[in-house]
Chain A
Amino acid sequence: MNGDIQLVGSFVTDGACAEAIEALHHAKIVSFRTFSPFPSEKIAEAVDEVRGWGRSPVRKFVMAGGFTGALTGLVVTVGTSWEWNINTGGRPIASITPYVVIIFELMILFGVLGAVSSFFFKSGLPAFEQSSGYRTRFGADRFGLVVQAAEGDAAKIEALMRDAGAEEVVREAA
């Protein structure tokens, strides 16, 4: 992040916050981050425009997890049956049909584990020091927009944010 100060704008609605982000984007100011009490689609879209992220990478991990699970299921069931081949009720030693259940369940299990672990990993959790600019209200009923900027641009940025409908804008050292 360049710049030595940061402006913390707080908005009552996510719409306002999103406008501010667009405005900043037009002004070629892209070094910012947002806080919101709930996932807001408006903010997400605005941010996407700026950062050009695709969909979250979590999907890939889940995919991988699912495959691993299914494979494990197959190996465990068939493998153990072959190793301890015991005739029960004249069924084939490795009877795939009933094993499908196990395979399915393990696929789900591993998929889920993939999803959660990747979610934590990708969102940098757990993280125990608060990033600067976070206000407790951002977790409750306000939407925060924190912009890193050089001393000089501060006024312009504040103006942009206030136009977009910022409730207040605070300057603080980065």
Chain B
Amino acid sequence: MSDGLSRRSFIKLAATASAAAAIPGCEPAARKLIPYVVPDENLIPGVPTFYATTCAECSAGCGVVARVMEGRVIKLEGNPADPISQGAICARGQSALQGLYNPDRLAKPHRRGGDGKLTAIEWDDAAKLLNDQLAAAAKAGKDRVAFVGAAQGPALDKVTQAWAQAYNSSRVIFWEAFSDEPARAAAEACFGRPDLPIYRLDQAETIISFGADFVETWDSPVEYARQFAQFRMPKTRAGGLSIGHAAYVGPRLNATAAKCDEWVAANPGSEGAVAMAVLNVVVTQGWVSQAAGVDVAALKTLVADYDPEKISAQTGVSAATITKIAGWFGQATDGAVALAGGPDPQAHLAAFILNAVSGNLGKTMVFLDGAPARATSSLADVRAVIDAMRDGQVDVLVIAGGNPAYTMPPGDAFKDAANRVGLVVWAGEVPDESAELASLWLPTHHALESWRDSNPRAGVYGLGQPVMQPVFPSRPLHDILIESAHLGAGTAGQAIAYENAADAVSTAWQELQGKIGASATPKQFWDDARRHGGVFQAAKENTVKLAPAVLAQKSPVPGAAAPLTLWAFPHIFLYDGRGANKPWLQEIPDPITQVVWDSWAEVHPETAKQLGLVKDYEGARLFAGINMVEISTPSGPIELTVTISPLVKPGVIAVPYGQGHTSYGRYARGIGVNPFAFLPEGTRNLAVNARKIDKTHKLVTPLGKSDMMGRTIIEAMSLNDLAKGVEPDFGEEKIDQPYEMYPPFVYAGHKWGMTIDVNSCTGCSACIAACYAENNIQVVGKANVDLGRIMSWIRVERYIRDPEEIKEGPPVYIAPVLCQQCDHAPCEPVCPVFASSHTSEGLNAQIYNRCIGTRFCENNCPYKVRRFNWYAPEFIEPLNFQLNPDVTVRGAGVMEKCTFCIQRITTAEIDARTEDRKLIDGEIIPACAQACPARAISFGDINDPNSAMMKRRDDNHGRTYTMLPEFNALPAVTYLRDVYQEKGKA
């Protein structure tokens, strides 16, 4: 399938190479919202052009392809050429568009008067104000200018450094809230090099994750979701058919844990201790590999204090569990890997040591040659700058990205410091909490509007090019910096080499060509880079050894856990809060709690009982929670609504990061709480006490009941059954072959169908975001979600297994549910006006113009996948610029639903016809399948037995099932069962 994708995309990309070369990325921004000032000859109305660029939403640095129509980017898709994303993309990546078209983006520079009021000013005045102050600061002495912002790739970060130099300062902070600092520190300690290894989960037999939610936010989720899916594929190993063993250690069962065999519910912050305990077992059992060549004696002393029995009190994990997962790890014949996330240094150390001593170094965990150096500043540097600011040693502070006022612990330290700075300049897109501190606001380009590069790992050099003219009259941050640096150079510091940001990037790439020694001409090299979105080559692997010193340094055994601990975790969509201003990310339900537009306090029923809370919303569960608790924190009490779920460790209150904005646009402001505000530096957990208060606040969710009630909706089967070829029995009515009352319809040409592998699906919801983007689906907001009016055509269904009822199976069932395109579609014959009818290609079509809104179809749909437009959709300008011109925006009063992206099907068919050829399998890919990082969804022609989709069914015939077969609706979507290991095995 991915072959088909790359084939198709490369045709497109090649076709648009010259367009890419001609795009005027760095001219002064047009003052209108017409993207092309001079329409270029490659612009054919209605025909998309594809520009390769890089995603700037997180540090993973996936390559993406921007789909541009009439000069407006309407969708982001994964770049098939990029080794990290390999054509997939996550929900956050998709939503970059809503950052680009965000209605709250700053349009003009503003300055804050003495009365604190903001007034719009011209660019020249803004630049003058900035440069004069900088010059003054530079004159006043060294290091009186500071920059705090997000890392923007090697080339631009160099510019920033140079700019600071120009004003003879070295105070440049690249701030990342969830930085990889702890990992790098551990790497330095263990292997004497500060760069990070890459992991090959797909080549492991066992994965143990110590707090690393690798399918959600950790490191590079798209890549690891893909690898993890391959890791979980049933394979034939020495011991017969098997799937990888995975365990997740952490206080909350998140999407990652949901896909693992074992959720090791450890006390918050004790992941490191658990890791050491695992190491202890590995060592004592003598599973240390000889090849690793480590000093076993030293190891023994290192882990002596971490005997599973002794430590279990502190970690809250039973010795048996630790022994079991240690067994998985130590006895893995095909290699194992330990991952560590979070700020706890001990976890990272232990994980590295585990990988090293088990001889997986260079197998599942690999250090590459020329890995990028740390992009973000160390905590020490950050502290230094904050202190300097507090002590009044900084005259000009430029904040550009990273939103330090919101994300920088502890508490208000940064705010207080910033208030003592003469001039605080904020440069960015949507004014956030940091902007509130600034007296000069400069609107800057979005990443998709500007030049940038990225180097997420050795051998992967991503090139970010502007894919459209700026939406607002903003300027690229680094153009501003370079301009002011030129002036500054005259007064104080040293000169800067570049004309502008574009120049900086291209120069950097000329250097790069020299470095990697590509043979092509510079022009050729540059164009290829822009065509493919960068240069991707295999990097040489380094062999590293575990430094003996690390075994000597003992870390103190953690104390006993507090009775009640607040534990904050990165929200899968909002991450550190940067996603909160994007309506899609607010409205897509969190895969586990299914809560939208809010932050919550997740507690175990036992803990809830102690707090005097009961699930008074049981029955048909209409919402996630309503009763509030008051939680005491160092910086005052906070109030949160409790959602009671068995998926969190007793004694823990799990709270997501990301909400609690006091600024940052209409979609983010005034929702929930911000854990950064009260959590101490360098930790995510906090001993608290909480009490029930008689306030109520509804946690809204589109999810009804969490209990599947023994219906065949999401099925899982044990590895044993799969190996034996036994069909699991769920007691439902079995229909061997489809029962036809009438002669069945024949679909002469194509008949579209889908295969969805529940075993691969991680619930990451990339498919939902892709569907929102592709099909112009409206966001309805919290109140309407509460009324059951969420519009997404595809949803991630989540059910919790009740261990009392169902003895074995995954703790949580997760699968995407979309229109099943039934042959016996129950929705069709009930429509009085043929608005819902079947196409000759087996699609269940919904004709909007014909629909009069009787809503009979959705009533009769067993899967409840149709969506009704209760209001006329509203796309606030310029969000409406993102609308896909190939898809109608539905009016009020009509029914809509998944179409298998019929616009893509038709386009491909027309292309095939004009080129007078047959459709190539994989040429048509619905948005959901295209985005899926785990490749769980495949689409194809049911009439073509050789299509990848049908092959996938055949290859996994033991796992195929259809939802609610007893209705004999004959869905075109076939699911592949989730597979779980039996209890007590291995």
Contacts and interface: CB of A to CB of B under 8 A. Distances in A.
B190 to A, nearest CB: 63
Interface string A79-100: 0000010111111100100000
Contacts of A92: 742-743
B829 interface: yes
A162 B502 CA distance: 124
B837 A91 contact: no
B838 A87 contact: yes
Contact of A88 (B743, B744, B828, B970): B828
B831 A88 contact: yes
Interface stretch (B58-66, B283-291, B818-826): B818-826
A86 B837 contact: yes
Per DSSP, chain A at the interface is loop
A158 B970 CA distance: 87
Interface residues of A, number: 9
A89 B826 contact: yes
Interface string B366-400: 00000000000000000000000000000000000
B745 interface: yes
A88 B847 CA distance: 13
Contacts of B742: 90-92, 95
A91 B834 contact: no
B745 A90 contact: yes
Nearest to B826: A89
B357 to A, nearest CB: 62
Contact of A90 (B823, B827, B836): B823
Interface residues of B, number: 19
Contacts of A91: 742, 829
A95 B741 CA distance: 12
Interface string A11-49: 000000000000000000000000000000000000000
A92 B825 CA distance: 13
A85 to B, nearest CB: 11
Contacts of A87: 745, 828, 837-838
A166 to B, nearest CB: 63
Nearest to B823: A90
A92 B836 CA distance: 16
Contacts of B745: 87, 90
Nearest to A98: B829
Nearest to B831: A88
A86 B836 CA distance: 10
Give the one of A84, A89, A91, A95 with max B CB within 10 A: A89
Contacts of B824: 89-90
Contact of B825 (A84, A89, A95): A89
B745 to A, nearest CB: 6
A89 B828 CA distance: 5
A108 to B, nearest CB: 20
Contacts of B837: 86-88
A91 B743 CA distance: 9
A69 to B, nearest CB: 21
Contacts of A89: 822, 824-829, 838
A40 B397 CA distance: 108
Interface in B914-934: none
Contacts of A86: 834, 837-838
Contacts of B828: 87-89
A95 B828 CA distance: 14
B826 to A, nearest CB: 7
A124 B71 CA distance: 78
B972 to A, nearest CB: 12
Nearest to A88: B828
B744 A90 contact: yes
Interface in B75-104: none
A88 B834 contact: yes
A93 to B, nearest CB: 10
Interface in B806-835: 822-829, 831, 834
A91 B744 CA distance: 8
Residue among A90, A91, A95 facing the most chain B CB atoms (10 A cut-off)? A90
Nearest to B825: A89
B406 to A, nearest CB: 53
A87 B825 CA distance: 10
Contacts of B826: 89
A68 B825 CA distance: 35
Nearest to B842: A87
A94 to B, nearest CB: 11
Nearest to A92: B742
Contacts of A95: 742
B831 to A, nearest CB: 7
Nearest to B834: A86
A92 B838 CA distance: 12
A86 B833 CA distance: 11
B155 to A, nearest CB: 58
Interface in B729-764: 740, 742-745
Interface string B959-981: 00000000000100000000000
A87 B745 CA distance: 8
Contacts of B825: 88-90
Contacts of B822: 89
Contacts of A90: 740, 742, 744-745, 823-825, 838, 970
Contacts of B836: 88
A86 to B, nearest CB: 5
Interface in A84-142: 84, 86-92, 95
A89 B823 CA distance: 6
Interface string A150-171: 0000000000000000000000
Interface in B823-869: 823-829, 831, 834, 836-838
Nearest to A95: B742
Nearest to A86: B837
A129 B827 CA distance: 60
A95 B742 CA distance: 10
Interface centre among B825, B829, B834 (most CB of A within 10 A): B829
A117 to B, nearest CB: 30
A84 B847 CA distance: 15
A157 B837 CA distance: 78
Contacts of A84: 834
A84 B850 CA distance: 14
B735 to A, nearest CB: 15
Interface in B690-744: 740, 742-744
A90 B825 CA distance: 7
A58 B745 CA distance: 48
B317 to A, nearest CB: 53
Nearest to B860: A89
Nearest to B822: A89
A95 B837 CA distance: 15
A46 B705 CA distance: 77
Contacts of B838: 86-90
B392 to A, nearest CB: 76
A88 B843 CA distance: 11
A86 B742 CA distance: 15
Nearest to A84: B834
B238 to A, nearest CB: 48
A89 B842 CA distance: 10
Given A89-B822, A90-B838, 6 more contacts: A86-B837, A87-B837, A88-B834, A89-B838, A92-B742, A92-B743
23 contacts: A86-B837, A86-B838, A87-B828, A87-B838, A88-B825, A88-B828, A88-B829, A88-B834, A88-B836, A88-B837, A89-B826, A89-B829, A89-B838, A90-B740, A90-B742, A90-B744, A90-B745, A90-B823, A90-B824, A90-B970, A91-B742, A92-B742, A95-B742
7 closest A-B pairs by beta carbon, nearest first, are A88-B828, A89-B828, A87-B838, A89-B829, A88-B829, A86-B837, A89-B825
Interface of B: 740, 742-745, 822-829, 831, 834, 836-838, 970
